[in-house]
Structure 1
């Protein structure tokens, strides 16, 4: 149903393929990064992070959207749906969600059907998550966050990688720009947020990526 090899466009000597990896951190609020983010060739967003109503800070364009059955949203016809598969449902869901409907249960409610271009679907081998967890994070955390996985993917397919919307707020809370924080001690859950952000800062210090820390 899906193309066996996604067409990402071959890099050419006369062009530089720039990527923006846009996380969902609250530090995007008031950042004014919107136009800067939209200037990139490839813009990767994840899960339920919206753009409508937040355009000034997060931009409007999306070329690749990473999500799971539990965080599914509708996509426009030009956006790649990216799934970092790591459980059986993640392999079943894209096909059923775009055809007959996905009616299995999970740890939270799953939207049975979504809108997306079936010719722009990428399902990554579960070995990719294992590689990120073992090589990049030294097995810290239960498994990598979606944002960190998106960062490593970008490093594999892009010439220049800029990172937005990662990390905790000034009070150490790992909240989202589109939510009102009720729990004042909101952590990064099963993910090793602190270790992931340490890797981000190291990559930035080495000038492998450019890290925009937000407001």
Structure 2
């Protein structure tokens, strides 16, 4: 049989298949945008997998009776945001206690982060012993720095500095909770080994984080004071706290009502109480430092740094300081926690 050449229908068929493939890819992209797109600023979400990474202990922690769920992963992950919100009821509450009306803000912010891991993958310390370092003036001249640095996990909050106060508060920081109005903006305060945790109280907080991570212009309207306009931390360092932790602090630990009377402004937990609640979910033993305040003297120092006095704490309309002090007194008396600054 002689040579008959190629089948003229083959190139046409190949072109047809390529067109179908490209159309399918385009359709997938459009549908992906519709499903995941959360605003005109849509960016594809990072597929972050949650890894708790703390080993279960043979004994229960002293504070076990305070918690409904143990070994709860405290950081939100892009891969299962809606699933976890539904599982733990966060889809039934608005910020700061849930995700109900802010899912798109959470998803967009999470899409710019690189991890939702709790601890480093090489961390193998079981039954972690933790210290939560408050910013109270009681820490001044206590020389607790070396003691604080000896813990497995050191949790700090807001812009309580380490730099210049190492003798009293230590050098190491494992986790630092913050919100836009309380975060450091001076790069000298950044420790690359610290994981910083956005505690979102309002949708604007999530939009602020996304704006800084993408270099967008920040609108400062809606913040109770001017937020940071630059971010000294890298995306690998940043996590977003699951609102379940804040809700647990408010309703389970402080016993705040879900609905306040109309003549009262709603109260929310301070970052300090939220930090303790976080510690209860990731640690086996929790110690406190810097959570004692001198309410009898309005001119006594509020913080171990700066010149702010207790008079500012007494004026707070956003927090129920009395309820928090009673809670702290209770967990200390019951030996659920150890207070390093009792005296």
Shorter-chain-normalised TM-score: which range? 0.7 to 0.9
Aligned counterpart, 1:45 = 156
Aligned counterpart, 1:155 = 280
Structure 1 CA distance for aligned equivalents of residues 141 and 295 of structure 2: 14
Cα-Cα RMSD: 2.4
Is the contact made by 1:38 and 1:60 (CA closer than 8 Å) also made in structure 2?
A: yes
Per mean C-alpha deviation after superposition, the further-off stretch among 89-98 and 183-192 is 183-192
Aligned counterpart, 2:165 = 54
Aligned counterpart, 2:66 = none
Q: Matched residue of 1:70: which SS?
A: coil
Is the contact made by 2:132 and 2:154 (CA closer than 8 Å) also made in structure 1?
A: yes
Q: Matched residue of 1:203: which SS?
A: helix
Structure 2 CA distance for aligned equivalents of residues 149 and 5 of structure 1: 18
Q: Which structure features the higher share of strand residues?
A: 1
Structure 2 CA distance for aligned equivalents of residues 166 and 183 of structure 1: 13
1:99 and 2:224 matched = no
Is the contact made by 1:103 and 1:112 (CA closer than 8 Å) also made in structure 2?
A: yes
Structure 2 CA distance for aligned equivalents of residues 44 and 187 of structure 1: 25
Q: Which of structures 1 and 2 has the bigger CA Rg?
A: 2
TM-score (norm: length of structure 1):
0.88
- The change in CA–CA distance for 1:172 and 1:78 in structure 2 (over 3 A counts) is same
Structure 1 CA distance for aligned equivalents of residues 217 and 142 of structure 2: 37
Q: How does 1:173-184 map to 2 (within 5 A)?
A: 173=298, 175-181=302-308, 184=311
Per mean C-alpha deviation after superposition, the further-off stretch among 107-116 and 1-10 is 1-10
Q: How does 1:1-215 map to 2 (within 5 A)?
A: 1-3=112-114, 5-8=116-119, 15-73=126-184, 74=187, 75-101=190-216, 103-105=218-220, 106-139=223-256, 142-169=267-294, 171-173=296-298, 175-181=302-308, 184=311, 186-187=313-314, 189=316, 190-213=318-341
Offset at residue 80 of structure 1 (A): 0.6
Is the contact made by 2:208 and 2:218 (CA closer than 8 Å) also made in structure 1?
A: no
Greater relative contact order, per chain length (Cα 8 Å cut-off, separation 6+): 1
Q: Which structure features the higher share of helix residues?
A: 2
- The change in CA–CA distance for 1:210 and 1:101 in structure 2 (over 3 A counts) is farther
Number of residues paired by the alignment? 214
Structure 1 CA distance for aligned equivalents of residues 134 and 295 of structure 2: 16
Q: Any unmatched runs of 5+ in structure 2?
A: 1-111, 258-265
